[in-house]
Chains A and B, each alone.
Chain A
Amino acid sequence: MAKKPSGSKRPPKKSAAKKKSKTQRMPSLRAPADTLWLMYRKMSEIRLFEEQVWDVYTRGLMPGLAHLYIGEEAVAVGTCTALRDDDYITSTHRGHGHCLAKGGQLDRMMAEIMGKEAGYCRGKGGSMHIADMSVGILGANGIVGGGFGIATGAALSSKLRNSDQVSVCFFGDGASNQGIMLETVNMAAAWDLPAIYICENNQYGEHTPYQAVTGVEDIADRAKGLGLEGVIVDGSDVLAMFDSVNQAVDKARTGGGPTLIEAKTYRFHGHHVGDAQTYRTRDEAEWWRTNKDPIKLLSDYMVDNGVAKQEELDAIYEQVEREVLNAIEFGKDAPLPPPEQAYEDLYA
């Protein structure tokens, strides 16, 4: 949990509100102030973690590939802030953000990415397979669309056990063209399963613009044909995500069935570290970075509404940066797994 800084108290200190006298607007905040702080902290964690992964990758400190979540932080954080610890998520190959937002620990994630025994998967999964069953992370998945079955099955399990846990399936615009989406979402709709499908439409399936290979402009439109509600949300606006997922969670928990939420978002980096990105223009990426940076949008909101001062936000950011650097050190210092461990963990 985020350490609550002084600025998180409601009402805010007078100094925070002085320049625009926003004190009287506080009751209409789009989320409670402590929630705003928590979301700011989590998004910062993801941003800084991913920047360090970029560094770790280019310095050759990790094997394999790295798919960065930078630019999409609001989707994971807005969603997971609306969930309980015992709710489930399934994640994707671009999964670091989802795992951190759902409660994954920086150090064990970094150790896993570096292939160390202290990692979440004891070095057997790596970047694309991070899981922490103790906080409901049923795994990132290396198969595009691989989370649909697992998340929907977990939702079926909740229903059969008469539990009120909900299940979130994160997937991309690319996965929305996999047949498994139709098969599983159809069952969720037919049986009113407590599932929430979060489409992160970051505009590109690997190196291909989604419009080039997709028959609809909005993936959310597919919901109608599958028999559930489809919602479009600005995926750069963490508060819009939070609000929308909250509604979907309320509905799912009370037997109202599944929802499909399409978050319009953007991958600030390429498909993976090292991707030359010849398929898009610098101007396009720059526009998103300038106008749709989810962390900047939230910090502006917090400052404008007197929830925080910029220097308080900066202090949190720096504190998180130290935590991330500690995680790097933890990962680097952790021992590699002995080869004989390759033969463990296959059968229960």
Chain B
Amino acid sequence: MPEREMLFREAISEAMREEMQRDSSVFLIGEDVGPSGGIFKCCEGLFEQFGPQRVLDAPIAEAGYIGLSVGAAMTQMRPIAELMFGDFALLAMDQIVNQAAKIRYMTGGQCKVPMTIRLAMGAGRSSAAQHSQSLQSIFAHVPGLKVAMPSTPRDAKGLLKSAIRDDNPVLFFEDKMMYNDKGAVPEEDDFIIPFGQAEVKRSGTDATIVATSSMVTVALAAADKLAEEGLDIEVVDPRTLMPLDEETIVSSVRKTGYALVVDEAPQSYGATAEIAARIGEKAFDYLDAPVMRIGAADLPIPFSPPLEFPTIPDVERVVRAIKDQRGS
């Protein structure tokens, strides 16, 4: 398949453009997504191409416009709602958790809620505690929602197109530190990546690192360092937390005998715990050491760089954890 290089944010905007061309029920709503193109420039050109009926600048009222998206999704439309910062999802929790996630179930399957909520997540920009959170585990914990976490421009495009076509509410997490990352993306219009399919981003035999979103890049860099020391690391990217491709994760760990799980959310009660537990349940007899995990510190994200960076998982901690696990 022919490919070209593009930025992560360009892959996001291309996915939205293609799906809006393909399906007239798809529309975009969010703060500053119109003529200004979104603060992370993911929506550039969409207003000009599709006009104000398809690209709606919302008031700063997250519960309100996420709520409208739920109602529109129930009545033949397919909204994409952008939350400028994922932290603002917390203002819309009733709409997401009590309404979007449950209305189909509560009504005995009478309706569907095909909506995508795009959220910018993650620390690293000195945005402080209310603009830096990684809230994926909270939503993966709610039955009725799906959660996607792309780690490359290619995955961003393929997964976002899947999300938009999905007949269920999808929370689509975009790490804001990756928006300007470059990568190869297939040219084909209909390139999609189905949910629930993990990808082995690097194959190896000595240990498995399961990593999400920007932590995949961290894990790959750690694997390169460890390769210099003769360790052959496999990196598995689940790509969606809900549904979770348990099989790919478990079979990797059965092969390597070691598992480390890395995710940028605060470590306690997070996705790392869930994935580690499943590995424990399904691959216990194959493990040569306890499953380990690395998340962010259990703290609000601090502002000043020397305070902020040590709270987030990084390459050094991943390298150290792999070595500690082997007692080397």
Contact = CB atoms under 8 A, between A and B. Distances in A.
A157 B76 CA distance: 7
Contact of B64 (A90, A154, A155, A186): A186
A148 B63 CA distance: 10
Contacts of B128: none
Contact of A120 (B103, B108, B113): B108
B74 A154 contact: yes
Interface string A180-205: 10111011001000000000000000
Contacts of B180: none
B70 A345 contact: no
Nearest to B71: A153
A154 B71 contact: yes
Interface residues of B, number: 42
A82 B79 CA distance: 29
A216 interface: no
A131 B143 contact: no
B67 A148 contact: yes
Given A146-B99, A344-B109, A156 B59 contact: no
A125 B61 contact: no
Nearest to A138: B74
A149 B108 contact: no
A109 interface: no
Contacts, number: 148
Contact of A121 (B59, B77, B106, B143): B106
Given A157-B76, A157-B77, A186-B59, A121 B107 contact: yes
Interface in A231-271: none
A253 to B, nearest CB: 16
B59 A190 contact: yes
Given A124-B105, A348-B168, A180 B71 contact: no
B106 A125 contact: yes
Interface string A72-105: 0000000000000000101000000000000000
Nearest to B65: A187
A344 B276 CA distance: 28
Contacts of A155: 71
Contacts of A307: none
A348 B168 CA distance: 6
Contacts of A158: 75
Contacts of B67: 148-150, 152-153, 180, 183-184
26 contacts: A121-B110, A124-B105, A125-B107, A133-B111, A138-B71, A138-B111, A139-B107, A143-B99, A146-B94, A150-B74, A153-B73, A154-B74, A156-B71, A157-B71, A157-B77, A167-B71, A183-B59, A183-B64, A183-B65, A184-B67, A345-B104, A345-B108, A347-B144, A347-B146, A348-B104, A348-B112
Interface of A: 88, 90, 119-125, 129, 131-133, 138-139, 141-143, 146, 148-158, 160-161, 167, 179-180, 182-184, 186-187, 190, 344-348
